[in-house]
Amino acid sequence: MIGLIQRVAGASVTVGNKTVGQIDKGILLLLGIEKEDGSNEVEKLARKVMNYRIFADEQGKMNLSLLDVGAKLLVVSQFTLVAQTDKGNRPGFSLGASPEHGERIYNQFVQHVREQYGHCETGIFGADMQVALVNDGPVTFQFKV
């Protein structure tokens, strides 16, 4: 499982002409799911994202988490994060989850976050989405669990 997080001043996901997910200050998580991912990876990545200290404290240092500052999370599936790009000029997706497995794990991740940490916004798994964001910093980190 690969997660790319961006600290944002705001972000939204649109499908067609309809906004399906939107946050103000918070984290945009682009989530890539691999073949072998399961509950263990869901719990580990959720804990990491929710507790990662990327928000400024009173001294301006990145010392506070999403939970500490009461910010929001927007989760968007992004299959291309699992691409193998080390050879040639075309990405390989042999490590990526099947659409069925990917959707099941994506939904499990979102449900876990909601149960353990509260509300989160989402895109629509497998949809052609337009993601708009204002990266705050910019601050971007990648996790592989």
Active site residues: 78-80
Residue 125 has phi, psi (to 5 degrees) of -55, 130
CA distance 19 to 11: 11
Comparing CA positions, the residue from 94, 96, 118 lying closest to residue 105 is: 96
- Tokens 């337009």 sit on residue: 130
CA distance 84 to 91: 6
Comparing CA positions, the residue from 78, 75, 100, 79 lying closest to residue 20 is: 75
CA distance 95 to 137: 32
